[in-house]
Amino acid sequence: SQQGEEDPQALSIQEGENATMNCSYKTSINNLQWYRQNSGRGLVHLILIRSNEREKHSGRLRVTLDTSKKSSSLLITASRAADTASYFCATDGRETSGSRLTFGEGTQLTVNP
């Protein structure tokens, strides 16, 4: 089964609002990564948070990790129309052979001008 699951599946907000996406996973991890995918394009790495970190920032992005709840959240502040994309979490599971990077099914974010 999928290691990471994003919630919600789709999110529609107005420009300037904040967007929060959540990711839950099942097994222990080494790190968790967030990626962005514009329609018809490849994924772009946004941020990596290690299992011993609780929060990380990068520009308008804020990622939190709660290993006790096996969950992470991605917050995009002051959203822009250009933030419209799908966002995926990916986990590197400690218990999986080869420490595979497993992707969730993504959250489709639409930011309306």
Binding residues for another protein, rule: CB under 8 A, are 2, 4, 30-31, 33, 40-45, 48, 88, 92, 98-106
- Supply the minimum distance, in Å, between the C-beta of residue 16 and another protein: 28
DSSP-derived letter for residue 83 is G
**Cβ of residue 106: shortest distance to another protein, in angstroms?**
6
Taking the least distance from each CB to another protein, the nearer of 42 and 113 is 42
Please provide residue 47's backbone torsions phi and psi, each rounded to the nearest 5 degrees.
-160, 145
For another protein, give the closer residue by CB, 83 or 106.
106
Please state, in angstroms and rounded to a whole number, the distance separating the CA atoms of residues 105 and 77.
22
Give 18 or 58: the residue with its C-beta nearer to another protein.
Answer: 58
Greatest C-alpha distance within the chain: 45
Least spacing, CB of residue 14 vs another protein, in Å: 24
Rg of the chain over all Cα atoms, to the nearest angstrom: 14
Question: Do 87 and 61 touch, CB atoms closer than 8 A?
Answer: no
Q: How far is the CB of 30 from another protein (least distance, A)?
A: 6
